[in-house]
């Protein structure tokens, strides 16, 4: 389902994001493989976004929303790098999907049952390992990221 007040995710981005790069649509056949690899289902809004655009880059080339391949790669990386286990709390309860260009990442929370039940998005702060609420849904996340309301 596209965001309200827009007929598509692309329309929302074009309305908000001067200087953004909308990537070509994603390959839906990859979603099941990524979900299996990460052992968590992609939230419906993220899945729908990736179907329209396999990623969104800001004016500096940073992934506001990563491609499905980047989502898989970065989540596997954060969950398996040994030195991260010594520096940070576990990342198994987060599904990272984007970055801010300064080192902080954005994620959906994975609940104890291994599923994502809510649309809330959290910011992981790399310097403090803090995890704070950022947006109530993907549409609000995009609006905040593309209008510098951080």
Full set of structural domains in the chain with CATH? 9-146 (3.40.1580.10)
**Hey, what are 73's tokens?**
């790669």
Q: pTM higher than 0.75, yes or no?
A: yes
With a cut of 60, say whether residue 88 has pLDDT above it: yes
Q: Give the total residue count for the chain.
A: 150
Alpha-carbon distance values, 137 to 17, 53, 59, 86 (Å): 18, 17, 22, 31
pLDDT tens digits, 17-70: 678 888 898 888 899 999 999 999 999 999 999 999 999 999 888 999 999 999
| pLDDT of res. 14 | 87
Q: Give the mean model confidence (pLDDT) for residues 118-147.
A: 95
Percent of the chain with pLDDT over 70: 93
pLDDT over 90, % of the chain: 69
- Residue 148 binned pLDDT confidence (cut-offs 50, 70, 90): confident
pLDDT value at residue 19: 81
Residue with tokens 């520096």: 87
Write the pLDDT tens digit of every residue in 76-86. 999 999 999 88
Taking 60 as the threshold, does the pLDDT of residue 1 lie above it? no
pLDDT at 7 over 80: no
Q: Looking at residues 7-15, what average pLDDT do you find?
A: 87
Computed over every residue of the chain, the mean pLDDT equals 91
Give the Cα-Cα-Cα angle 14, 20, 25 (nearest 5 degrees).
75
């Amino acid at each position: 389902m596209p965001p309200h007040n827009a007929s598509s995710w692309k329309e929302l981005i074009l309305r908000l994001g001067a200087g953004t790069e909308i990537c070509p649509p994603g390959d839906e056949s990859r979603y099941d493989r990524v979900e299996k690899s990460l052992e968590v289902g992609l939230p419906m809004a993220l899945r729908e976004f990736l179907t329209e655009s396999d990623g969104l880059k800001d004016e500096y080339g940073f992934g506001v929303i990563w491609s499905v391949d980047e989502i898989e790669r970065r989540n596997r990386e954060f969950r398996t790098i040994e030195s991260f286990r010594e520096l940070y709390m576990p990342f198994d309860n987060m599904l990272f999907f984007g970055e801010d260009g300064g080192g902080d990442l954005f994620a959906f929370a994975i609940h104890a049952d291994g599923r994502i039940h809510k649309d809330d998005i959290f910011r992981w702060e790399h310097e403090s390992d803090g995890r704070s609420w950022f947006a109530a849904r993907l549409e609000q996340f995009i609006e905040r990221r593309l209008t510098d309301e951080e």
